[in-house]
Amino acid sequence: MLIITISILIGGTQVYAATVLGTNAVSLLSNGIEAIKSYFTGSAVKNEMNNLNDKYTNSIDSYSKEKANQAVTDLQNHTTSEINRANNELDAYLTEVKNQFDTEYSNQINKSKVEITSSVNNNIESIKSNLTKELEKQLQDQMQFKIKELETKAQ
């Protein structure tokens, strides 16, 4: 019902405009608005939309270049920081390993020196004992030889 009422009003307005204003005025107005509408829906809108497209394409281009440069800078800085951290950590580790090695080296060398000294001392004592026994034997043998020599002369 509402649609029928609206259709009658629109139709009535056109008839009124055509009779009161004249057919040419309505056509001229309609053609003029159509031409303006065509301009705005055609080249005006197209030009403005192209301008907006270029603007936002340039904006995206600038943003992506900025983010790419920022990513490279951030990752380079992080890599440099991590390399420095690794260097410091490995330097500290190597210093600690060297200190532990030096301590163990000193302990092992001192232990070995004590064992060598003990071995040499044991050998010295053994040789002294052998020399003492050899000296006793030699002296005894020489004394017995001299006694036999003396006994042979005395006979």
The whole-angstrom separation of Cα 69 and Cα 62 is 11
Q: In the chain, what are the domain boundaries? A: 7-130
26, 18 Cβ separation under 8 angstroms: yes
Half-sphere exposure at residue 100, Cβ-oriented, CA atoms within 13 angstroms: 6
How confident is the model over 47-61, as a mean pLDDT?
94
Quote the distance between the C-alpha of residue 10 and its chain's center: 75
Residue 1 has pLDDT above 70, yes or no: no
Residue 35 has pLDDT above 90, yes or no: no
The amino acid that residue 119 corresponds to is S
Phi, psi of 99 (to 5 degrees): -65, -45
The whole-angstrom separation of Cα 113 and Cα 104 is 14
The structure tokens listed for 26 are: 């309505």
pTM of the model: 0.50
The whole-angstrom separation of Cα 143 and Cα 137 is 10
